[in-house]
Structure 1
Amino acid sequence: MSEIVHKYRVLIVASHPVQYATPLFRLMAKHPQLDIQVAYCSLQGVKAGFDAGFGVEVVWDIPLLDEYPWVEVENNSPKPQLGSFFGLINLGLWKLISKENFDAVIVYTGYSYFSFWIAAAATKLTGKKFLFSTDSSGIEPRNKKRWKTWLKIILLPPIFHIADIVMVASTLGKQIVMSLGIPEQRITMTPFVVDNDWWISQARKIDVHTVRKEWNIPESSTIVMFCAKLQPWKRPQDILRAFAKANVLGSYLVFAGEGALRSELELEAKTLGLAERVRFLGFVNQSQLPSVYSSADLFVFPSEYEPFGVVVNEAMLCGCPVVVSDQVGSRHDLVQHGKNGFVYPCGDIDALATIFKEILPDYELLQKMGTAATERMKSWSPEENIKAVVQALKNLIHN
């Protein structure tokens, strides 16, 4: 006699459609133990909108609303916007949660939105199980203001205690949440992932020769890649200065992304005498990113504040070894120093230059590390994420 499979009815509350999350929702919609409904507080990303980080208007060029059930909950904020506590005030969440027969509510909006608290209150008052996700891997805020750090130490424990389960994105995230007094049994690690199959399949289609020709870079050259917003906390200038210091023959540096630092970087590249060996691609939309990573030999992410850094996933899935600073959250779970990449002290230009000198002339080592990078991602996938979610629901509802 076959075992009866329990199906969990789950409401997922998300701030807006995100290219990393929607593949997960599609897989969840097909899972035999999940009956999901996604509630969006905003449709920014599907609809064109100004992205302050990139400094340009952005609308993602891949499907974000296909193959899973979703609704848009009206935003009642007088000034609707992402990144502001009162920018999302979705009062309809109360009715949706209190009237519908959900087993659990999973919130991805973050406690920094008013709508998070609407969802939390409605869930707790109606006796449903409450889970929320955090990608934090540290307490210190991006602006490094000490008073904010102390405030977090005071406020985060009671916030996290609201949840029946806190879903963390990394091992470092789990350590941080445990340090705030949350018992390990109330923490579930749901790996921060992308659509592995899509990235690998797209990477295999790339004609590297054509891409490098478009960039006006010789095919035999070695390319160092930065792909992110050109913002101060990402520290793109560190790559430029280390690249200049290393001065490896036949190497090029490519910046994919837009942001406030672009003009400064272009000027500094000229001042350093590197204008002919540095390329600025500007904003690159999602469908074109596999060609960016696949055509590079080494991806570098020097950020001083990065809770996880999902671009590391993307690069590794495209067979690109990675160099990350010791402030990038994914370093602990994904980067195996000397095997599929390197970790160096954030802001240490000399250390980064030394890595460039060591690895850029060694094509065989770059290839070997690139293969190891893709291999690592086999066990950091959407399947592991969803398996953890289902197990958390099972433990909450049946124990």
Structure 2
Amino acid sequence: MSQVLIIASHPIPYIAPLFREMVAQGWSLQVAYCSAEGLEAYQDQEFGEAIAWDLPLLAGYPAQILTNQSPWPGLGRFWGLCNGQLWGMVAAADVVICYTGYVYASFWIAALSAKWHRKGFIFSTDAHSLASRRTHPWKAKLKPWLLPWVYGVGDSILVSTRLAVEMVAGLGIERDRIFFTPSAADNDWWLAQSAQVDGAAVRQAWGIPPDGAVVVFCAKFQPWKRPQDLLAAFQSANVPNSYLLYIGNGPLRAELVTLAQGDDRIRFLGFCNQSQLPAIYTAADLICLCSDYEPFGVVVNEAMLCGCGAVVSDRAGSQELVEPGQTGAIYPCGDRAALTAVLRDLLGDLPRLRQMGQAARARMASWSPRENVAAQGEAIARVLQKS
């Protein structure tokens, strides 16, 4: 049995289910976290408040929190993660899978150690285009030249969408080195939690009737998430007996609240933790993701598992989950008129909307941690065969 070392930046709810699935599939692995951020309450600058996840993040798989030796520790900057222990840990493994992203020093410590010790090196990316959230012109010019070299460091590359397969292949990486690993939520957990929800009771607590059509926005209230697009489109659509719920927080909250004044169909529920979300999604009908930069958007997975149809912009990686007219709709990012038309069409036809939610749940049967981990296993097999 090959020994697999997995390197991740910090514990988050979206990757722990993958590691548990690896154990279930018989992997011999060790997960090394470069930072403990996420295990305790921390100040999330983008939400604008302290966040403490309420689900176990280290249970069900072997994990180790490494000492971060960075003089400037933290996420979001190159020297924020610097874990010298990785050099020896990589040497002791047969193959390495790195989830940190190439924007951290720890990634390069692991990559250099893998090359020095002739170990297989695999890394993941959730990007599906060369676009960047922070639109620095020099970055846009540099990426097409730099990324072919960066991706060339990996013996195999894990990508979360088929759009990403094309992006990485377009950089000159051989297709047999690219493995599609669907970006997945913990399907079993979400389905089980949703089955326990009394949707009528949840709606009653919101003051929303059982026959109302409910659309949810669940994300950080940041400019690139474009929450104001949904509010404007919802108000323009003006569908009777329809409601809009905002889940989250961030710097645009005050603007959104001001724009929603006088419209009692729009509710702001604040940040809701993982254990609260199944009830919200199960009692809703539709989730909307308006982002102009969204590598994937796992909230769409979660909502679809709870029976919500999905409306997403054409900049979101999760558009791959949407079958237009069957499980939701895809619209041009920033086109409020197009989004208005979609909402008017869907929110005005509740039976169709509920049927769409059932189809969305069924769609997720083949997009789960099982498929993700199986594909990662294929990537490992290729690397070991080539070594």
Residue matched to 2:284: 296
Q: Render the CA deviation track for 1:293-346: whole Å, top value 9, x for unaligned.
A: 111111111111101111111111111001001111121x21101110000111
1:157-236 aligned within 5 A? 157-236=148-227
Residue matched to 1:344: 331
Q: Render the CA deviation track for 1:344-379: whole Å, top value 9, x for unaligned.
A: 111111111111111112111011111111111111
Unaligned runs of 5+ in 1: 1-6
Q: Name the aligned partner's letter for residue 379 of structure 1.
A: S
Q: Is residue 2:124 matched to residue 1:133? A: yes
Residue matched to 1:370: 357
Q: What secondary structure, in the 3-state scheme, does the structure 2 residue paired with 1:123 have?
A: helix
User: Is residue 190–residue 386 contact of structure 1 (8 Å, CA) maintained in 2?
Assistant: yes
User: Is residue 8–residue 393 contact of structure 1 (8 Å, CA) maintained in 2?
Assistant: no
Q: Render the CA deviation track for 1:228-274: whole Å, top value 9, x for unaligned.
A: 1111100000010001101111111100011111111000111xx42
Q: Is residue 2:303 matched to residue 1:315? A: yes
1:254-269 aligned within 5 A? 254-269=245-260
Q: Render the CA deviation track for 1:47-102: whole Å, top value 9, x for unaligned.
A: 1111111111111000000111011110011121111111111111112222x2x1
User: Is residue 75–residue 88 contact of structure 1 (8 Å, CA) maintained in 2?
Assistant: yes
Aligned residues: 386
Q: What secondary structure, in the 3-state scheme, does the structure 2 residue paired with 1:330 have?
A: helix
Which 10-residue stretch deviates more, 19-28 or 205-214?
Answer: 205-214
Q: Compute the displacement of 1:158 (Å).
A: 0.5
1:38-117 aligned within 5 A? 38-98=31-91, 100=92, 102-117=93-108
Q: Is residue 2:270 matched to residue 1:282? A: yes
Residue matched to 2:134: 143
Q: Render the CA deviation track for 1:173-200: whole Å, top value 9, x for unaligned.
A: 1111001000001111111101111111
Q: Which runs of 4+ in 1 moved over 3 A?
A: none
Q: What secondary structure, in the 3-state scheme, does the structure 2 residue paired with 1:76 have?
A: coil
Q: What secondary structure, in the 3-state scheme, does the structure 2 residue paired with 1:37 have?
A: strand
Q: Name the aligned partner's letter for residue 174 of structure 2.
A: P
Which 10-residue stretch deviates more, 50-59 or 128-137?
Answer: 50-59
Q: Render the CA deviation track for 1:189-241: whole Å, top value 9, x for unaligned.
A: 11110111111111111111221122222232111110111111000000100
Q: 2:286 & 2:21 partners in 1: Cα distance? A: 31
Residue matched to 2:5: 11
Q: Name the aligned partner's letter for residue 344 of structure 2.
A: K
Q: Name the aligned partner's letter for residue 40 of structure 2.
A: K
TM-score, length of structure 2 as denominator length? 0.98
Unaligned runs of 5+ in 2: none
Q: 1:289 & 1:282 partners in 2: Cα distance? A: 12
Q: 1:295 & 1:169 partners in 2: Cα distance? A: 28
User: Is residue 142–residue 305 contact of structure 1 (8 Å, CA) maintained in 2?
Assistant: yes
Q: 2:318 & 2:60 partners in 1: Cα distance? A: 29
The CA RMSD measured in Å over matched residues stands at 1.0
